[in-house]
Amino acid sequence: MKRRLIGCLAGSVLVLLILSAACGTDEEAGPQVPTGVTGSFESWVAVLAVAADPNDLDAMTASVMQVAGSAIVVAPGICFEGIPQDVAVASDYVLAVYAEDRESVLEIASRTGAEPVFVGEVRQLCVD
């Protein structure tokens, strides 16, 4: 009986050590690319709005979606390689339209009625 109890205690301690290691944080690391990311692709984007809270983009997202359809993306700034930090930092949320080339993305952006704060070729990292 004692052996069994000691075995259970040792197993519990091991599980706690594993859990505490898995739950530890590295505050120095900064923002990380969201989990579930399985690929990336390059495209042209026209950033239409940036906000610290994605909920602040809801109304504009709904209106842009009416004209841009599936050529719209709302994602954390860290999901884009190539957007300058004076436009959006990793912790900001970006509302953008995207296309394969500059001419197409500018045409889509013009239909939204919004003036882009940035237009350029980027790598979208948060693709599932």
The owner of tokens 């993305």 is: 105
Structure confidence by residue, pLDDT tens digits, 89-113: 889 999 999 999 999 999 999 999 9
The answer to whether the predicted template modeling score (pTM) of the entire model surpasses 0.75 is no
Backbone φ, ψ for residue 26 (5° rounding): -120, 90
Render the burial of 10-43: b for 16+ CB within 10 Å, e for the rest.
Answer: eeeeeeeeeeeeeeeeeeeeeeeeeeeeeeeeeb
Structure confidence by residue, pLDDT tens digits, 24-79: 333 343 344 444 445 677 999 999 999 999 999 999 999 999 999 999 999 999 99
Question: Domains of the chain by range and CATH?
Answer: 39-127 (3.30.70)
For the purposes of burial, counting CB atoms within 10 Å of the CB of 44, is it exposed (0-12), middle (13-18) or buried (19 or more)?
buried
Backbone φ, ψ for residue 12 (5° rounding): -65, -40
